[in-house]
Amino acid sequence: MAADTVFAKIVSGEIPVEILAETDRVLAFPDISPQAPVHILVIPKSTAYENVAELAAAEPETLAEMVAVAKRLAETHANGDYRLIFNSGATAGQTVFHVHAHVLAGDLEERSLGAS
């Protein structure tokens, strides 16, 4: 369960962030350690899911909303082209165990796959 993560504290308002997009189920804000010219995190407000597979199985509509928000952010903050990354598990680079998507944009090359 993702209830004790930094993202849960952001959702609860305990940790303030610059909110770039918000819906009833989704929140988006800049990554504090950007790996690209545009690096935005999109998270569900629910703290019930540690990874994208759990979210997809339980709430596919929330996952679809995360993708739609990512697309809108890329249109607003970049030229509409973007990379969407979900890391699942510590050995895959996941450091916060609250499902989240990395929206990366801005002069990316195929070999530049870094994101945590």
Cβ proximity of 3 and 47 under 8 Å = yes
Cβ proximity of 79 and 57 under 8 Å = no
100 in active site: yes
Burial tier of 97 (Cβ tally within 10 Å: 0-12, 13-18, 19+)? middle
| Catalytic hit among 39, 77, 98, 100 | 100
- Is residue 46 left, alpha or beta, with left meaning phi > 0 and alpha meaning psi from -120 to 50? beta
Annotated catalytic residues are: 100
